[in-house]
Copies of this chain bind each other. A is one copy, B any other.
Amino acid sequence: MRLVIARCQVDYAGRLTAHLPPATRLILVKADGSVSIHADDRAYKPLNWMSPPCTLTVRSPEEDEAAVTADLDASVAEVWEVKGKDGDTLQISLFEVMHDSSHDLGIDPGLQKDGVEAHLQALLAEHPESIAAGLTLVRREFPTAIGPVDLMCRNESGAYVAVEVKRRGEIDGVEQLTRYLELLRRDPLLGDVRGVFAAQQIKPQARVLAQDRGITCVTVDYDALRGLDNAEDRLF
């Protein structure tokens, strides 16, 4: 990884056209060839970047007439041109370099995650009764023409119940479930299909929309479910 602190100007042309006026910034050149430009704020998003695969070409400004403008040519030390795979380009004009160091980091073992929707879905699949009393699982990822329903269940009276699982319940989740229900209800083998929208938190607007469409909302306690799981582990 190469770290460069420099006064620079950046021009991007690709899916959009963007320009960064001259200022001092951090330029990161990583081992995979990717380049990103960071200001002194925002942890997550760089000001500008080029995703791999891409190639970086460094040249002095006089090598390329086009890169030399009347205002800038006197002070430009180097011009970096980064070309992406879709023909997009990032041109970095460096005026003054304050810092430049390279470091060998090696490959990263990577991030281990827990608590995402997949886990929530797995826990609910193991404990469908926590969604509604008497509910039993038919299968996870129940296939439809427009994609799989998270959980297909049956209630005490044998009716099918399609469950959409979300960490945060918002309008688009209700729309998604609505589309599934529309399709499922066309299948005469399934008969009437109920809809349940299960999430850790459900936004008021999503709740109203769901209610309007006859979809039941269930808020799920992830920690309690995990506890249930742990308790089970201990018991059996």
Chain A residues packing against B (C-beta within 8 Å):
1, 3, 5, 15-21, 23-26, 28, 30-32, 34-36, 38-52, 98-99, 101, 103-116, 146, 172, 175, 205
* A226 CB to nearest B CB, Å: 10
Chain B residues with CB under 8 A of A103: 5, 24, 26, 98-99
* A84 CB to nearest B CB, Å: 10
* A217 CB to nearest B CB, Å: 18
* A105 CB to nearest B CB, Å: 4
B31-A105 in contact (CB<8A):
no
Chain B residues with CB under 8 A of A23: 105-106, 108-109
A16 to B105, alpha carbons, bound, how many Å? 26
Partner of A105 from B21, B26, B172 at Cβ < 8 Å: B26
Partner of A20 from B17, B46, B111 at Cβ < 8 Å: B111
A44-B41 in contact (CB<8A):
no
A115-B16 in contact (CB<8A):
yes
Q: A101-B99, A103-B98, A175-B172 are in contact. Are A40 and B113 (CB under 8 A)?
A: no
A35-B43 in contact (CB<8A):
yes
Chain B residues with CB under 8 A of A46: 43-44
Chain B residues with CB under 8 A of A105: 5, 23-26, 39-40
B26-A1 in contact (CB<8A):
yes
A69 to B55, alpha carbons, bound, how many Å? 43
